[in-house]
């Protein structure tokens, strides 16, 4: 496969109730999956029915948007590991998924040239709606993600 995969995933904990990981476009575009071990990454990949497990952060270079689905308490450790990993962060997009943390929680990645945002699904009985906080360019890096791109956007602050 010569084309660059659109999505990578860093995941810890339970993925079965994740609204974002069940989006059809995420399943279609998911590439490298990184977790605490290759065995756990394989389990998540099989559960999502997409992507492939990778042993270290450098393997995430195959993606241009990396979804981060970890417990809020694990975010500082994961950010520190990413910064120390040798993965070229400049130009990559990182999106914290399903968290109330703001994109400032991953500011160290932004200082190294990455675009950072958070994505949270709004409770809704009808259509899926998501709130994106931070740098909208982070999630726009996934050109094929029809569920997060080309939707109505409301500017909430002057940083956009």
Beta bridge partners of 30: 7
Strand order in the sheet with 115-122: 52-54, 30-34, 7-11, 65-69, 93-97, 115-122, 129-134
Contact 118, 94 (CB under 8 A): no
What sections of the chain are H helices per DSSP?
24-29, 38-48, 75-84, 107-111, 136-140
Span 7-140: which CATH code? 3.40.50.720
Q: 35-52: per-residue pLDDT in tens?
A: 999 999 999 999 999 999
> What's the pTM value of the predicted model, to 2 decimals?
0.85
Q: Which residue has the higher pLDDT, 3 or 123?
A: 123
């Amino acid at each position: 496969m010569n084309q660059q995969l659109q999505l990578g995933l860093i995941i810890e904990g339970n993925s079965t109730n994740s609204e974002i990981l069940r989006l059809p476009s995420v399943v279609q575009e998911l590439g490298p999956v990184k977790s605490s071990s290759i065995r756990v990454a394989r389990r998540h990949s099989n559960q999502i029915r997409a992507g492939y497990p990778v042993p270290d952060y450098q393997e995430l270079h195959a993606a241009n948007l990396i979804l981060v689905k970890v417990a809020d308490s694990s975010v500082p450790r994961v950010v520190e590991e990413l910064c120390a990993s040798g993965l070229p962060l400049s130009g990559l997009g990182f999106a914290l998924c399903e968290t109330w943390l703001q994109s400032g929680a991953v500011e160290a990645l932004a200082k190294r040239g990455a675009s950072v945002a958070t994505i949270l699904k709004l409770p809704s009985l009808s259509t899926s709606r998501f709130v994106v906080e931070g740098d909208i360019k982070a999630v726009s890096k996934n050109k094929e993600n029809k569920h997060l791109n080309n939707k109505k956007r409301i500017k909430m602050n002057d940083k956009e």
